[in-house]
Structure 1
Amino acid sequence: MVKKRKTASKLAIKQAFTRLIHEKGFESLTVMEIAREAGINRGTFYTHYIDKYDLMEKLEMETIEDLKKILLRPNEGDVNDPLELIPYPLILEALVYVKKDFDFVSAIAGPGGDRHFVSRIKGILSELIESKINQSTSLEFKKENLPEDYALEILLSSIVAIILLWIKKGGVESPEDIATMVHKARQISPYELLI
């Protein structure tokens, strides 16, 4: 019974926190407002979290760890196929996960949330790409006059930009549609978009 109450309290805190970030932004909210919005007293809040920064860190890291488990899981795809650097099934599963917790993810990824969240997502994708390149016998960044770190940034930025636009638009498209766009974006150069 106590565990159920703790779980219910934490869920109420997360939901209140998410609503308040959307309404007023992280920096402007207080623990008192979170507790009031969650329908709990401050003492209950403090049994779970030190302060609002601890709350943000724990909730965000839970999301990051879940996304890491999805995206960094071994995949059966061909490690020498450049299109398998970021496999469609893993991207789709990650997007389905985001869709299930869309209110929270959109709050922390939005202008009132944590400005470091997007960097953390890019970090996971970078880790995925680097692990695939390390497993491959033939893949490497080899564009003339374009250092590897810039090539990686171009690849990561296009993927993250698609996902962020999807979040900004309210997740109206399905995770399948966005995963397909991410997959296609890796095959199209910006020049080809204009002709």
Structure 2
Amino acid sequence: MKKTIDPRIKKTRRYLKEALLSLIKQKGFDAITVRDLTQEADINRATFYQHYQDKFDLLDQTIDDMLLSMATYVAPKSMGEFTENKDSSPVFERLFQFIYENAFFFQVMMGEKGVPSFQHRMLKIIQQFMNERIDQLHPHPEKMNVPKEVLIHYISFANLGLITYWLENDMKYSAKYMAKHLSELSVRGLLYVAKFE
């Protein structure tokens, strides 16, 4: 049976996470103190330490919670999502939709005063995801035209770069639009999309 968390605990943690993001946006993580966090969240220091060891623990748990939620939300529902011929990948649609719904978090974490380790952690999740999909779709990766790890790094950095571009430009395109074009780039390639051929 799943253990339920007291609503007051959830509320306090939510306030602290919101305070953390607001303060990172204002002055960057390194400049933040526990006192800043408690003042911003309107709680006392003793309450803070009931939930987190220090500001690094708060940051780690905030990132872990978001990335776990993202991985769960985006995860493929079936192999057909990769093999069916569609204009847009449902997985990419869910990815951009999740980021859109949590835009403030991602814009802060990946912004100018954001946390550099966050992008690295997000990149690792994309790489793990791509590695699993290639293993499922390609039973003989040694027969690929490029080594599997090269392909994984290429696709992962391209995905992260496109997400960063989208966030930096205030998501001027819809999540569905971005998913469609990421799907085309991933499946058909640069030459086809740019009409170089």
Aligned position for 1:121: 122
Unaligned stretches of 5+ in structure 1?
none
Whole-angstrom CA distance in 1 between matches of 2:50 and 2:185? 46
Do the aligned partners of 1:21 and 1:112 also contact (CA within 8 Å) in 2? yes
Return 5+ residue gaps in structure 2 as ranges.
none
Q: 1:110 maps to which residue?
A: 111
Once the two structures are superposed, residues 55-107 of structure 1 have per-residue CA deviations (whole angstroms, 9 ceiling, x without a partner) of 010010011111222334442416667x89xx821221122222222112221
Residues 122-180 of structure 1, C-alpha deviations (whole Å, 9 max, x = no match): 2222222222222225674723xx44322222222211111111122223322112211
Count of residues in Structure 1 that have an aligned counterpart in Structure 2: 189
Q: Secondary structure at the match of 1:167?
A: helix
**2: CA distance between counterparts of 1:25 and 1:48?**
22
Residues 130, 156 of structure 2: 8 Å contact kept? no
Q: Does 2:154 match 1:154?
A: yes
TM-score, scaled relative to structure 2: 0.82
Tell me the TM-score normalized by structure 1.
Answer: 0.83
Tell me if 1:60 matches 2:63.
yes
Aligned residue for 2:98?
Answer: 97
Distance change in 2, residues 1:170/1:116 (3 Å): same
1:8 and 2:11 matched: yes
1:43 match: 46
Q: Which moved more, 1:46-55 or 1:125-134?
A: 125-134
Residue 13 of structure 1 contacts residue 34 of structure 1 at CA under 8 Å; is this kept in 2?
yes
Q: Taking every aligned residue pair, what percent have the same amino acid on both sides?
A: 21
Partner Cα distance (2:183, 2:53) in 1: 41
Tell me the residue number matched to 1:181.
Answer: 181
Deviates further, 118-127 or 21-30 = 118-127
Letter in structure 2 aligned against 1:110: G
Q: After superposition, where does 1:126-137 map in structure 2 within 5 Å? A: 126-137=127-138
Moved more, 152-161 or 46-55: 152-161
| Cα-Cα RMSD | 2.7
Indicate if the aligned counterparts of 2:15 and 2:41 stay in contact, CA closer than 8 A: yes
Change beyond 3 A, Cα 1:127–1:72? farther
For residues 6-47 of structure 1, the C-alpha deviation after alignment (integer angstroms, 9 at most, x for no partner) is 222222111111111111111111111111111111222111
Q: Secondary structure of 2:80's match? A: coil
Given the superposition, is the C-alpha separation of residues 175 and 191 from structure 1 closer, same or farther in structure 2, using an over 3 Å criterion? closer
Contact kept, 8 Å, 1:88 with 1:183, in 2: the verdict is yes
Structure 1 Cα separation of the partners of residues 23 and 81 of structure 2:
44
Would the aligned equivalents of 1:126 and 1:156 in 2 still touch at CA under 8 Å? yes
Distance (Å, rounded) in 1 between the aligned partners of 2:148 and 2:138: 17
